[in-house]
Amino acid sequence: MENQMNFNAQSLQKVFFFLSSFLLTTFSAFADEEIVKSSASEGSNPYGLGSLWMQGDLVAKLTLLILLIMSIGSWYILISKLLEQNKIFSSAIQARNVFWSSPSLHQGVEALDQDGAFHYVSETAVNAKNDYVGELASMVPLNIWIEMAFNRSFENIQAKLSIGMAFLATVGSTAPFIGLFGTVWGIYHALTAIGIAGQASIDKVAGPVGEALIMTALGLAVAVPAVLGYNWLLRRNKSAMEKVHSFSVDLEKVLLGGSKPTL
């Protein structure tokens, strides 16, 4: 399972880099298009995302890029976690329909998805029972020995499901403040430019200030999906682990000499 986890991580990293490059290219093209449209039509609003990108200084551009990277990372984690969770849910159905109908535990383990969580849990438990030999093992009751193996596999599965959750929580809590920082920075520079020009009319003030407020809107647009996704994935992780735990309880009964569960 460790090799599969490494393989999945490498595959998801390739997808992340592809999405990052695609979205960065799209963002640059969109900004350039907005600038061209604003320049082409005199009556159009010259204060937009494209104008913000071209007229902003290094700090403003870095703020936009940070928010863009946060958004890409949030959606990447959200999609990858959903795929992992769906795989566990489908493996639970397979375990119920295939594993318990197998003539032996060994054949049941082999019938499961080799890269799935249920195969990993059952294989770990069966190997633990086979390793229950020797003087050291006899000092520990068999049920505790098997439960220790289950707990180790649970921790590994839970750790895999939790990868990226901290990033979502971080984005959800910091993105609004990053957007607010961009707004404050933009308003400061807008007011400074207005003071130097000596013109404080509404058309000179509303444009730059409204342009700076785009940063706050972008920060909220990044934070809201991250927060909703974090809470949703957290509940789905709990449901996935409950299915794995329910399977392990039935398997432990069989390993200790009990009968197969009634389907």
- For 182-204, how does the pLDDT look when each residue is reduced to its tens digit (9 = 90+)? 888 878 777 776 777 666 666 55
154-164 average pLDDT score? 90
Check: CB of residue 165 under 8 Å from CB of residue 235.
no
Helix axes 117-130, 202-255, angle to 10 degrees: 30
Check: CB of residue 179 under 8 Å from CB of residue 67.
yes
Say if pTM beats, i.e. exceeds, 0.85.
no
Check: CB of residue 59 under 8 Å from CB of residue 210.
no
Measuring CA to CA, which residue among 262, 246, 244 is closest to residue 120?
244
Range picked from 4-18, 23-37, 42-56, 90-104 for highest mean pLDDT:
90-104
Q: What is the pLDDT of residues 48-98, one digit of tens each?
A: 666 666 666 788 788 888 999 999 999 999 999 999 999 999 888 888 888
